Amino acid sequence: ECSSDPFFSPARLSMLDRGVIYAVAHVRGGGEMGRAWYEQGRRLNEKHTFEDFVDVTAALQEQGIADAKRTVANGGSAGGLLMGAIANMAPHLYAGIEADVPFVDALTSILDPDLPLTVTEWDEWGDPLHDRQVYDYMKSYSPYENIQDASERQERFGTTQFPKILATTSMNDTRVLYVEPLKWVARLQEPQVDADAIVKIEVEAGHGGASGRYKQWKELALENAWCLAVMGFKD
């Protein structure tokens, strides 16, 4: 259970100065609205978190606050799973998606009890190793498992559009192994999927990214520049 409280980010100012609108979606699974809100977004209710995020995006666009051609979503770790899920569920709503150290091959990882976090994470996601219902449910939303070919997107959404993808990862990340985003991006780059997907690998960092103030700023500057380029900003 994790609440996203409002906070000031000086790094966000350069985006706001260019006219970017920044919104935080408080989806079910967080703690903002109590225990029931949390329970409605975990285990066999996990898909509610994805549906909530998509609904928030659609509402902002319907009200004219955002434009699908310039909307970029961002999330990291378990929020990176969210990014992979919404890319599959509503590719037409996003111009780009930045997924930081994303948990995008969730089913494979959560089936391996030898990984550092797997057994403790069963309390949050369920245990697919010993429960077939949990296995089937996780398989139905795990981003890697549900990537659609361009022809499938055309049939489902009436367009082959897929958001541009920037995935970031670190070689020394023990929480979400770097193989997850690499495997995901490799699948997205297959000709039949036809997605514009790239990955940035930090050689010395861990799950939290590069250490040191200046390295973090450099990393953030690259990510912000990518987001602004996807939104259509030229400077």
Query: Which residues have a catalytic role annotated?
Result: 77, 173, 207
Rounded Cα gap, residues 45 and 174, in angstroms? 26
Question: Tokens 């020394």 belong to which residue?
Answer: 172
CB 28 within 8 A of CB 42: no
How far the first Cα of the chain sits from its last, in Å, is: 39
- CA 22 to the chain's CA centroid: 16
CA separation, residue 73 to residues 66, 90, 136 (Å)? 12, 12, 27
Rounded Cα gap, residues 9 and 224, in angstroms? 13
Where in the chain does DSSP place strands (E)? 72-76, 96-100, 164-170, 197-202
Rg (the chain; Cα; Å): 17
